[in-house]
Amino acid sequence: MKVTLIGAGNVGYHLGQRLYNKKIKVHQVYSRTYSNATALANLIKAKATNDLSKIDASAEIYIIAVKDDSIAKVVAQLSKNKSLAKKIVVHTSGSVSSKILANHFSNYGVFYPLQTFTKGQHVYFKNIPICVDAKKEKTQKRLLKLGKIISKDVRLITDKERAVLHVAAVIVNNFTNHLFHIGAIICAEEGLDFDILKPLIQETAEKLIRKSPYDMQTGPARRGDQQTIQQHAEYLAKFPKYQSLYTLLSKSITNTYS
């Protein structure tokens, strides 16, 4: 099994190294920024290019790991190479339908690692859910095989299911991280060290491994402590945008447990 990576950003960077570490040959790495393509290619002993017209047909699977808004453009350019028409071509997006590939490649699908990726931040790939989808059973089997090489959690997930999962993922990851950012701003405003909150953040995440979010909810809105909620809202008057967000989330929690 030989793979070509189209994209050397956060997803491509981690996926490429995982494939390499699991003895899957990565033939080429593409990035529109040649230095990014070269940096990853050198790590995994692949060929680097910043020209999609130079992607050749030597690989079996072509993984498009670029930002969502760039997928259509990349697909259109790749499809000009008729030697790729029958290759397995997939993308790694959580929100984009696999049908974006359907008019260009006969063996198309999705290979979506459901995780947040940041360059320089190690991830335990063997625990990452790999969501696989493909119209053809043969293609599906090849993608499942590839997934099982790099992760112990590989699942068949339809376009519709993946789109729903992506919404949930944005809420539990991107939104919570933004709340951490707000907390850090508030601490900095008052000369406090944000690190003091990190054990709390860690414990919150670890509790979710054991029980449901519903059962683990705590705080003034959960308890119905309106005086505390009002006190917090008054303090947040100096941060109007955060005050409205605090009020909105508090109401949502209160309504959930009322």
CB-based burial label for 70 (10 Å; 0-12, 13-18, 19+): middle
SS3 (DSSP) at 69? helix
In whole angstroms, what is the distance from residue 63 CA to residue 75 CA? 11
In whole angstroms, what is the distance from residue 156 CA to residue 124 CA? 21
What stretches of 87-168 adopt beta strand conformation (E)?
88-91, 107-113, 130-134, 154-156
**CATH architecture group of domain 163-257:** Orthogonal Bundle (1.10)
**CATH architecture group of domain 2-157:** 3-Layer(aba) Sandwich (3.40)
Alpha-carbon distances of 21 from 15, 148, 157, 198, 214, rounded to whole Å: 10, 14, 26, 32, 39
In whole angstroms, what is the distance from residue 7 CA to residue 67 CA? 9
Domain extents for the chain?
Answer: 2-157, 163-257
In whole angstroms, what is the distance from residue 85 CA to residue 100 CA? 14
pLDDT tens string, the chain, 258 residues long: the values are 899 999 999 999 999 999 999 999 999 999 999 999 999 999 999 999 999 999 999 999 999 999 999 999 999 999 999 999 999 999 999 999 999 999 999 999 999 999 999 988 888 999 999 999 999 999 999 999 999 999 999 999 999 999 999 999 999 999 999 999 999 999 999 999 999 999 999 999 999 988 999 999 999 999 999 999 999 999 999 999 999 999 999 999 999 999
